[in-house]
Amino acid sequence: MGTSRSRGTGRRHEPRSVSFDEDLIRAALAVAATADPRDVPVGAVVVAADGTELARAVNAREALGDPTAHAEVLAIRAAARVLGDGWRLAGATLAVTLEPCTMCAGALVMARVDRLVFGAWEPKTGAVGSLWDVVRDRRLNHRPDVRGGVLAQECAGLLETFFARQRLG
């Protein structure tokens, strides 16, 4: 298998397969399904370079009364605790069911996450290509590799069901 170069970092790593990324998004979908009924069902999983799961989290803004309790932020925090290496998640991949917002995109850049894999695009608040492109801003000292749209229909379906239920009730 060949190698790919991370944008702007100079590191070399083995590319991940499509099936690996789909498995990550399926894991994120499974955790998203556990969301509190009041929270938007977004799930995130962080894995180490060797594929070992470090953390998983679901949106918990309503459940925790915390505006920063997005799945990505919670998973990044938990993964950093597991690694015990301060705040750096070098070599890690973050998989999330929905394109990250500006806060979450900034958090994964600051945590030095190597790869981001996400499911559904978010045209209203997405910060990885839809509305903004925080993670590819050349002014930043870290730019993760990104793969978006993985199992996008399945991820969007979970959100559509949630919002339809919200409108009804």
- Give the list of residues 6+ apart from residue 35 with CB closer than 8 angstroms, or none: 41, 42, 43, 58, 59, 60
Beta strands in the chain (DSSP E): 4-5, 12-13, 43-47, 53-58, 93-98, 115-120, 145-147
pLDDT tens readout for residues 71-105: 999 999 999 999 987 899 999 999 999 999 999 99
- Residue 72 is a catalytic residue: yes
Are 30 and 43 a contacting pair, CB within 8 Å?
Answer: yes
pLDDT band at 167 (very low <50, low <70, confident <90, very high): confident
Catalytic residue among 53, 62, 72, 99: 72
pTM: 0.88
pLDDT tens readout for residues 129-153: 999 999 999 999 999 999 999 999 9
- Where does residue 79 rank: exposed (0-12), middle (13-18), buried (19+ CB within 10 A)? buried
